[in-house]
Amino acid sequence: MALLVLYAGTAGAQKPNSSPNLVGSGARALGMGGAFIAVADDATAASWNPGGLTQLERPEVSAVYNWKWLSEDWASGIHPELEADHDIDLDELNYASIVYPIRRTLAGRNFVISLNYQRKYDFDRSLDIDARLVSSLSAPFTAVTTNLLEIDYLQEGALGTLSPAFGFEITNRLSCGMVVNIWDSSIVPGNEWKEVVRRRSRVQTVGRLFGRPFSQVGLGRLDTYTEYEDFEGTNYTFGLHFRALEGLSLGAVYHTKFAADLKRTETNRIFLYPNSLAVTHRREKIRMEWPSAVGLGAAYRFPNDKLTLTLDVTRREWDQFVLINKNERHLRDVRKSPVTNLPIKDSHHKPTYSVRLGGEYVFVDPTRPKQKYLPSLRAGLYYDPEPASGRADRWWGVTCGSGNPDDYYGATLGLGLLVGSRVNIDAAYEYRWGNNVRRDTWAGTPLERGFSVDVDQHQFYLSTVIYF
């Protein structure tokens, strides 16, 4: 979610824009392509559908570890010098929870409470860019200016929640649940992200000034350090889980939209050849409005209890994703898109629909009444678009856009092993790709026209659940 900065002192330096990445929870669910709304029968249920919490019958402690290698293959028709591979690898805690069923409740219905940490969004990106900008001047100047830019860009951080949750069994077939997602940085210390952008600029102007030839070379460097911190907000997740028929389960989940307040601190260090230095420092209060989402799921477990097939469809209202700079409320276009940092009227976003298919096969040995080791195999496919302005190149420039999202697809594989009915170990690999995407990366800059990216992402998840 980088925000654009332009500085005349470095002949138009820019930094990329991007949307935040949604993060799923649990290696088992992700191994099934993230199609887990109608399953939701393990410790990560609060993340996918709290209505499924009532399926947990004994206390559990879980933790999910995530290793990610993200690679982007850049291609640009007008700026071929931007063509390069960019990658970053990192690891983090993805999810952790404590679940406790309470059996003595009204009418003997199952009631389950849990406390969860969920990593919801990540902002991690690393880019190393060489760009070339050419412009011309009119009379009394007749010249061509070439600006060679070197941009090193690093963005790190995440947003997570501390989420108390509960699930309650209404009937033998129908359960409901609710999660309170607390985004407060004082409770979740890692709720912040930072950007470090180092730009080096070499500007060469060659031409004629009032009829006389001249040549000029300028050197400059701009380092920008931006921190987003003190993130505060709260939203809710509501879920239903319904066992419709023998083997068939249905699920529904709704995530409410919310507004979060945070602080942005930006420091710029401008170096101009040969030894000039200028420092600017700005601290702003920001409000970010985050979108709501609704999801529906279906899962069918075959009579032998070995094979389960799942399907999820989720709609996320990215048109509700808005950034407001409280220090600029006097301006006309104060509501901006966090994806492009352009005014909403120039960068609206249509809702996205994700479709996920998954399956799990459990290798049950029917000859043994008690399984000492219970392995399982999982796989999934999905379509998971990202918000984008949908702008298109025209001969007169770049249009403000249709709001159509960028198309991304993915495939997953997963393995699981239940040891002695006490410890469950799961692993998942995810490959996600998108072609001709990220056209908003240089929104509002001279580099935006003709730019597109082919993206390849690889992630590996490892999780464990301990039963008491």
Tell me the two tokens of residue 78: 């007008």
Domain positions in the chain are 8-344
Cβ 195 vs Cβ 154: under 8 Å: yes
Q: Is the pLDDT reported for residue 138 higher than 60?
A: no
pTM, entire model:
0.86
- Residue 334 pLDDT > 50: yes
In this predicted structure, the answer to whether residue 340 has a pLDDT above a threshold of 60 is yes
pLDDT of 413 over the 60 cut: yes
Top pLDDT among 162 and 334 is at 162
CA distance 356 to 307: 17
d(CA 422, CA 60): 9
Q: Which residues pair with 191 in a beta bridge?
A: 158
Evaluate whether 284 touches 327 at the Cβ level (below 8 Å).
yes
Nearest CA-CA partner of 375 in 385, 383, 365 = 365
Topology classification of domain 8-344: Porin (2.40.160)
pLDDT tens figures, 444-453: 676 777 777 8
Q: Is 311 exposed, middle or buried (0-12, 13-18, 19+ CB in 10 A)?
A: middle
pLDDT digits (tens, 9 = 90+) for 261-299: 999 999 998 887 667 778 888 898 999 999 999 999 999
Is residue 219 within 8 Å of residue 276, measured between CB atoms?
A: no
Q: How far apart are CA 160 and CA 51, in angstroms?
A: 21
